[in-house]
Structure 1
């Protein structure tokens, strides 16, 4: 096969083998052939190419049912590093990870007064990038690329402008921007419970409420679930409607309900507010868990996921104390056999999901994206904004 069709077929073959190795771990050539549907001869050629480029490495042998032992290969963690940036209203976190997404160094900065000040925000990220490079004793040239997770509406390229600015200032060839909610869900799909089932609804509960559908570790859809109606003509919502789910299950809405019950409450988004919501008043907790269970049941009856994963800082706080109640609530209301699981118990989830963005590009092309993706204005030309 020649020309463009041949190049596309070789790219597909590399992508299939590398993606399988990345997510399934050490495998033999025969196992890779079975998993990808490619012939043993094609797999052998691809493996030889990836070995010669140090993208993968051999890791010993496994017992065979007769004949020679099976040589195992795996993704090489030392091939290069990736950067994940998590931007919130208060803080900027910059993490440096190896090719297997194991943390090498991390740096924290206070966010500038306005996140719309892209220049000031990018300066702080560059400072953090230098800090993690020094801590990990690595160089800019060893970094494959960076992913940036920023707060913003679901479905909008909230990180695109910042990613372009960072690419120009940092000299990194690949910088991809995404929404924080999608980054949280991506991390759950790659490293958490969402990667252990087929169709998974990742529910992100923080100040707001969102849902992201993940299937085979790829983001299929994301939605502003918090603005579906939970109670007809219910509590007023910031969007102008009434009865939105977010006002009953989002952290800001629950804090407002606490104010109504107690006559005073910390400001939404404050550290005091977070502390209060990690162990809320029993009456408030019971009410919130009830509304959350009803909301999740309605969502699962519509979307039919095999599993629900609850993440985000508020979601994790609820699962730590009320996971059994939520499971019971879901079992009573859901039409199908859907399970509910706690998300990753780490504050690094969003930046891990962001760091996975350049690896997504690597797996998509089956080789280092810096070598194959042309650039326009410092960003990958023709590469989709919404990376899976």
Structure 2
């Protein structure tokens, strides 16, 4: 608990820690002494005097521990290493993993993680674990994906256990949108007491909600799937089993299909009907929209209005005060999305007369999910209640067995 308060404050005195936690001054002194001895916390000069001797401030030692985030997307795998403060210290990305069967893809991912740790010069004994994030329904407790995408071989495959065996590190499986959402909290981008949502858009659309620093999980950790709320009860069937899903109207693949169906637009923008990388094609449309191309602008604005509808739904259900837009699909036309989603939220949110709802871009940009995956490992290992939460079952048996390969949690 003390460590989490130090993390949130960035720099704080022992007196302020006692006031914030309700613990006695002697207890705070002892806990801080232990954290300093463990190398997790360092003294950081003196604060402002309130009449007596200026207090000594303490802060996290960012180099004390590290974690790895791995994002498995349909077209891309992104790997990041973050320090204890959540700051990215190394990154790599590569294509092709999702097109392979998992028994070939995961060893490749493990090799890339090993190479990145070596290149960054990170002491492996200081690595707490790996946060593996992806899309679709999941069984976090078993560490398996419950989606046949990109191929049927991935359905039910024990991805967390197999990656843990290859790396000799604990692996936590989680949803990309939930990871992106909690990353904002750890990075200090939102008020620690706030209730905020995250709309995550890569090749698909997902959502996450964080309440006082904890991800809202629901009954099976498959919550806030806003990409699969129905916006047209008479719409087309979706592979998820629902009908008229938001993702099929506002997602990047939907926007690309709409552009290809508009006479002459594909040729003007240089779109390739045979291109399987929807993110690259979507970026072309976004760039054209930014440049003022009328048809491209209209497509992006229509997508943004649909997302605004989803944002209003999230805000009404969870009484949010902030909505974060995260993911690679906001990289090019994010300003258009932010403006139009904010308009919809201002106009239509149920509690708009009680409090405003701000729509903001993610501080982690396109890598929000990968960074968030690494942050989930830090949070799981080092903060209040981590070992009491039911979702800790998401750590695979193999990952638990490999705990000796990582620095034990303090």
**The TM-score by the shorter chain falls in which range?**
0.7 to 0.9
Higher alpha-carbon deviation: 82-91 or 311-320:
311-320
Following superposition, the deviation at residue 334 of structure 1 comes to: 1.4
CA deviations 1:320-375 (Å, max 9, x no partner) are: 2342333222212112232212223523222211111221123236999xxxx999
Distance 1:113 1:376 in 2: 21
Residue number in structure 2 paired with 1:4? none
**Stretch of structure 1 that moved more, 267-276 or 122-131:** 267-276
Q: Is the 8 A contact 2:178 2:209 kept in 1?
A: no
Kindly provide the CA deviation profile for residues 186-215 of structure 1, in whole angstroms up to 9, marking residues without a partner as x: 223322644566111111223322221112
Q: Is the 8 A contact 1:212 1:223 kept in 2?
A: yes
CA distance in 1, matches of 2:383, 2:357: 31
In structure 1, runs of 5+ residues without a counterpart are 1-15, 384-388
Relative contact order (C-alpha < 8 Å, sep 6+): which is higher? 2
CA–CA separation in structure 1 for the residues paired with 2:23 and 2:76: 46
- Rounded Cα–Cα distance in structure 2 between residues aligned with 1:365 and 1:240: 37
The more displaced of 96-105 and 60-69 is: 96-105
Kept in 2: contact 1:310–1:316 (CA 8 A): no
- The match for 1:138 is 122
Mapped to 1, the partners of 2:7 and 2:61 lie a distance apart of 9
* Pair 1:309-2:324 in alignment: yes
Q: 2:45 touches 2:57 (CA, 8 Å); kept in 1?
A: yes
**1:60 offset after TM fit, Å?**
0.8
Report how many aligned residue pairs link the two structures.
361
- Listed as ranges, the gaps of 5+ residues in structure 2 are 146-156, 218-222, 290-295, 404-410
Query: What does 1:330-345 align with in structure 2 at a 5 Å threshold?
Result: 330-336=345-351, 337-344=356-363
Of residues 187, 195, 201, the one that matches 2:197 is: 201
**TM-score, with structure 1 as normaliser:** 0.82
Does the aligned pair in 1 maintain the 2:250–2:306 contact within 8 Å? yes
> How far apart, in 2, do the equivalents of 1:367 and 1:196 lie?
17
Aligned match of 2:136: 152
Partners of 1:253 and 1:42 in 2: CA distance = 57
2:340, 2:209 → 1: CA distance? 23
State which of 307, 325, 329 in structure 2 corresponds to 1:292. Answer: 307
> In 2 relative to 1, CA 327–33 (structure 1 residues): closer, same or farther, beyond 3 Å?
same
Partner of 1:13: none
Tell me how far apart the structure 2 counterparts of residues 236 and 80 of structure 1 sit (CA, whole Å). 46
Counterpart selection for 1:356 from 360, 375, 383: 375
Report deviation, 1:236: 4.7
Distance 2:301 2:104 in 1: 43
Distance 2:280 2:227 in 1: 23
Question: How does the TM-score come out when normalised to structure 2?
Answer: 0.78
